[in-house]
Amino acid sequence: MSTFTRSSTSTSTSTSTDGKNGTMNGTTTEAPTRRPHLSGMTWLVWRQHRAAFWTILAATALSVAWIVYQRGQLVDFLDGYGYPGKSLDEAGGKLQQYIDAFSLVSFGLQGIPILLGVFLGAPLIAGDLENGTAKLVAAQSMSRTRWLVTKLALAGLVVVVSTGVLSAVFDWWWNPVKSEITVMDWTSGEAFNTTGPVPVALTLFSVFGGVAVGVVLRRTLMAMVVTFGFTVVLQIVWGYFQMSLGNVITVTTNKGVMEESAFPSMPKGAYQIDDSYLTSSGDLVGWSTCSGSGTDAARQACLDKAGVVGFSVDYLPMSQMNAMQWFGASILFALTAGVVAFLFFWGRKRLV
């Protein structure tokens, strides 16, 4: 077995005195200089999964290069258009190509947790259990715990580096038009699940969840199929609950409801959750109240009779996005830690 070792030499000179004629003789020796290299279990695990690791890192590098290019194109367009002094509502079809680019890249980023969960997480240990490599490792001097730690650490490192870099670069690309809902709504999975810590947390949980599935099932193909279902369900459940991570803000008015300016104003980019009529007693009534009253005068009379004095609107401001992402990511990180604990306290007993 060979290791990733590289050696370089440095020249050192020693001197000695010639006892016969008293002259100094110089001799030159070559001294090796050690450089950092992979060795032992780390080298073994990296070599075993190097194809998957290098593929992930190479795909990340190519994606980053493409996003950097697209960001440059977007900034040039915005500068030439006169944004933010000029509203993008007037851009028309000129903006659509950039919206399509955002959608395409976002779709790919949202698929990363599923892809890595299936093709990296599920086979990571299930393959060793199925082909007998785990038994060979257990027979060596190194413990199964160290083998498991190295496997999870290297896979986790590759996942964190790749998804963290992609998340940061995608957020940098989106930042010039972040407040424009017409480009990309911050509450949608396109933005919320592809920026900040969320991609890292979702992918880590998917990958380590796939590892746990593989440890239990001990068959690679079956583990990949089950992990695919697990990661898809995870995405659905996460999308259902992600907007409940914020603190809902309620704004009310008491200046009537018939005037155009009566509806309460909200910050730009705010996500409106619900709105209702507000009565003088503080009760909320639905929009259907007095909707069939005919003329405006008849409707106003109906609203007065119902005691409606204004609006009540619930919304989430865009300023909460970062806090919501970190709160959600902390939940996912905690779940990931639980999966890792399961792998160590239960799974390691069956890694033969």
Higher pLDDT, 243 or 351: 243
Per-residue pLDDT, averaged over 97-116, amounts to 94
The pLDDT value given to residue 22: 47
In angstroms, the CA 212 to CA 122 distance is 8
- Read off the pLDDT of each residue in 147-152 and give the average, rounded to a whole number: 88
pLDDT confidence tier of residue 71, bands split at 50, 70 and 90 = very high
Give the C-alpha separation, 20 to 33, whole Å. Answer: 35
Looking at the chain, which runs of residues are DSSP E strands?
7-17, 24-34, 249-252, 271-279, 284-285, 308-316
pTM over 0.95: no
Q: What percent of the chain has pLDDT over 90?
A: 47
Res 112 pLDDT > 90: yes
Q: What is the mean pLDDT of residues 219-232?
A: 95
Calculate what percentage of the chain has a pLDDT beyond 70: 83
- In terms of Cα–Cα distance, which of 105, 189, 117 is closest to 159? 117
**The two three-digit tokens of residue 323, written as one number:** 């806090």
Task: Please report the pLDDT score of residue 140 as a whole number.
Answer: 63
For 244-273, what is each residue's pLDDT tens digit?
999 999 998 888 777 777 788 888 888 999
pLDDT at 337 over 90: yes
pLDDT reported for residue 303: 80
Most confident of the following: 88-97, 156-165, 216-225: 156-165
Query: What does the alpha-carbon distance between residue 288 and residue 269 come to, in Å, rounded to a whole number?
Result: 27
Q: How far is CA 328 from CA 111, 113, 238, 307, in A?
A: 18, 16, 9, 41
Residue 173 clears pLDDT 70, i.e. is over it: yes
Q: Is the pLDDT of residue 7 over 50?
A: no
Q: Kindly report which listed range (95-109, 183-197, 246-260, 330-344) carries the lowest average pLDDT score.
A: 246-260
The model's pLDDT over 11-69, given as tens digits with 9 standing for 90+, comes to 444 444 454 444 445 444 454 455 445 556 787 788 888 899 999 999 999 999 999 99
Mean predicted confidence (pLDDT) in 157-164: 97
**Is pLDDT at 2 greater than 60 in this prediction?**
no
Query: For the range 175-179, what are the long-range contacts, defined as Cβ-Cβ under 8 Å and sequence gap of 24 or more?
Result: 176/74, 176/75, 176/78, 176/83, 177/74, 177/78, 177/83, 177/88, 177/98, 178/269, 178/318, 179/268, 179/269, 179/318
